[in-house]
Amino acid sequence: MKKYLSLLIFLLVVGCSSTPSIKEMTIRMGSTDSVEIIDMRSVVRNGLLTAQVTVKNDSSSNLVSYRFKWLGKNDISIFDDEAWKPITISKGQSASIIGIAPSPDAVDFRVELNQYK
């Protein structure tokens, strides 16, 4: 009985402290359902958080714009909103988007996707 209890607590702790999924780290606006994020990774390089997101377009040529949102401690935004950057991805193409944090205070990031006319 004690064994099961400790196992249950262990599982709960592991579950609660897991890293956020790709879906949780993506904020979508407009109609960007055809664009799929297949990979997301980050590393601290030269003191700055560098994020790399690989996006794949499943439908016909789509015009998508993206930007990164950099978060510091307590998930507070660092810097103003970035400018939307357009990227043209043909059908079946996957492209890597790289973002570098604007200051060493950034510890986390989110990716925002939007459509642009």
Residues that bind another protein (CB under 8 A): 45-48, 50, 65, 67, 79, 81-86, 99-104, 116-117
Nearest distance, CB of residue 48 and another protein, angstroms: 6
| Separation CA 10–CA 5 (nearest Å) | 9
* Closer by beta carbon to another protein, 20 or else 30: 30
State in angstroms the smallest separation of the CB of 64 from another protein.
Answer: 10
Q: CB 78 → another protein: shortest distance, Å?
A: 9
114, 64 Cβ separation under 8 angstroms = yes
Cβ contact 63:86 at 8 Å: yes
CB-wise, 6 or 90, nearer to another protein?
A: 90
List Cβ neighbours of 30 (8 Å cut-off, separation of 6 or more): 114, 115
User: For residues 77 and 19, what is the distance between their CA atoms, to the nearest angstrom?
Assistant: 19
Closest distance between another protein and the C-beta of residue 49, in Å?
Answer: 11
Per DSSP, what are the bridge partners of residue 114? 65
Tokens encoding 69: 């949102």
Nearer residue to another protein within complex by CB, 13 or 61: 61
Nearer to another protein, 36 or 81 (CB): 81
